[in-house]
Amino acid sequence: MTLAQALARAATLGLARLDAQLLLLHVLQRGEGERAWLLAHDTDTLAPAQRDAFDGLCRRRLAGEPVAYLLGRKEFWGLALAVDARVLVPRPDTETLVAWALEVVDESGGQRVLDLGTGSGAIALALAHVRPGLQVEAVDRSAEALAVARANAARLGLPVTFREASWLEGAPTGLDLIVSNPPYIADQDPHMDALVHEPRSALVAGPDGLDDLRAIVATAPAHL
């Protein structure tokens, strides 16, 4: 089976072309930016093991598993983050929060920032990357999520402190900035059907989706 035939077969199964290309590049151990390479090598032949691996990834994607989990990584603010089912996949929209935070903090550094519900560490690591002088701490109530975040920080060489806690539990006072992208989906929201592969605790917050936001708003002022 050639690369072109493999992509055509994925298309007949209903897989989006971009998803199929990214999965095929992953199987071939090539970078996500090499889609043009696929076109130039569309007559190359897949080895049986590569074909089986590609078919398996296509089936998982068709079942709704995020591409980021299948690739094991997701880019956020220019950082290549490792992600898996223990953490929410970082969304591009969340970069808006990072941009706003960077407008608020002093470029000279030294300020103390707390990231609540850090997940993969995306927000905290982006801030530490752009403003090396910041003192960044990140918390999450999931020990499994923190393991992912700590591994990302270690691989990227970014000095973020991580701690297991629920929101502002045990947080210091005198913080300069608190950032968070908490769960905000209502418990019975029908969109959850399309998000079953991601951790529910990182998405849902009570009957109207606002439970965690209320908790943060109520307790944050005492720590700023």
CB-CB neighbours of 33 under 10 Å: 8
pLDDT, residue 210, reads 95
Give the pLDDT confidence of 182-224 residue by residue, as tens digits: 999 898 999 888 888 888 888 899 999 999 999 999 999 999 9
Give the pLDDT confidence of 119-157 residue by residue, as tens digits: 999 999 999 999 999 999 999 999 999 999 999 999 999
Distance CA 38, CA 6 (A): 11
Enter the pTM of the model.
0.91
C-alpha dihedral (31, 36, 37, 41), degrees to nearest 10: 150
Distance CA 192, CA 108 (A): 42
Q: What is the mean pLDDT of residues 159-184?
A: 96
Give the pLDDT confidence of 8-61 residue by residue, as tens digits: 999 999 999 999 999 999 999 998 889 999 989 989 999 999 999 999 999 999
Q: 51 and 57 in contact (C-beta within 8 Å)?
A: no
Report DSSP letters for 125-189, one per residue. HHHHHH-TT-EEEEEES-HHHHHHHHHHHHHHT---EEEE-STTTTPPS--SEEEE----B-TT-
pLDDT, residue 75, reads 95
pLDDT, residue 191, reads 85
Residue 108 predicted with pLDDT over 80 = no
Largest CA distance in the chain: 63
Distance CA 5, CA 45 (A): 9
